Amino acid sequence: MIDFLRGRVAHCEPEYVVMDVRDIGYRVFTPNPYALARNEEPIQLYIHHHVREDAIQLFGFVTREEQTLFRKLLEVSGIGPKVALGVLAGGRPEAVAAAIRQENVAFLTKLPGIGKKTAQRMILDLKEKLGAVDSNWAAAAVVELDGPIVSDSGSAWGAAREALAGLGYRDAELDRAWHVLKDQVADDEAPDVLMKKALQQLFQG
């Protein structure tokens, strides 16, 4: 099994990157591909090697904790790799873990692909199993969980903007991206969708 890959991002699509590792291209599905594509230097992704009858897929994460949380999410009935990836794209991992620990169904149902029943299963199945994740996220206890997924701005773009700022993008860059996107998105666009569209715009310059 592959545990991690280290290499250069050779190509980027909305759902995955292609990593050049010693002249071999690995397609790796990841929560926010365009954020990774900013890096001109080699990067390291922690890998979940997913095998099923009709496909072998690689899912990659920038931290070991994200990799662990992704694998924990796959243990929940009704959550497959696509939904688990959407959860990590839509909310900070420490906030997701804190919401599960605090049984915050309202927060969890804001995440892509998570309905009330699935949120309840997440809490039931994972509340006592996140020790390995929480060990490095002690600050999660003070995360504000009653507002938007990653922002207190009250808007989906505010949530996406704060997450992008956390990736290192400057206010001027984010303002330019939103100026291009604001007339192209629906009023009910989810924060993770806006984030991916903004990352694509930022990557294109």
pLDDT digits (tens, 9 = 90+) for 152-183: 334 677 777 776 776 667 777 788 888 888 88
Q: Is the pLDDT of residue 136 over 60?
A: no
**Residue 205 confidence class, pLDDT cut points 50, 70, 90:** low
User: Which residues make beta-bridge pairs with 55?
Assistant: 52
Q: Is the pLDDT of residue 146 over 50?
A: no
- Token pair of 114, please? 């998570």
Give residue 130's pLDDT. 77
Give residue 67's pLDDT. 92
**Residue 18 confidence class, pLDDT cut points 50, 70, 90:** very high
Q: Name the residue type at position 40.
A: E
State mean pLDDT over 49-67. Answer: 90
Give residue 144's pLDDT. 39
Residue 137 burial (CB < 10 Å; 0-12/13-18/19+)?
Answer: buried
Give the whole-number percent of the chain exceeding pLDDT 70: 83
Least confident of 83-97, 107-121, 136-150: 136-150
Q: Is the pLDDT of residue 29 over 90?
A: yes
| DSSP per-residue string spanning 130-197 | -HHHHTT-GGGGG---SSSSS-SSSSHHHHHHHHHHHTT--HHHHHHHHHHHTTTS-TT--HHHHHHH
Least confident of 82-86, 87-91, 165-169, 186-190: 165-169
Longest pairwise C-alpha distance within the chain: 47
Task: State whether residue 105 is helix, strand or coil.
Answer: helix
Give residue 59's pLDDT. 97
Task: State whether residue 4 is helix, strand or coil.
Answer: strand
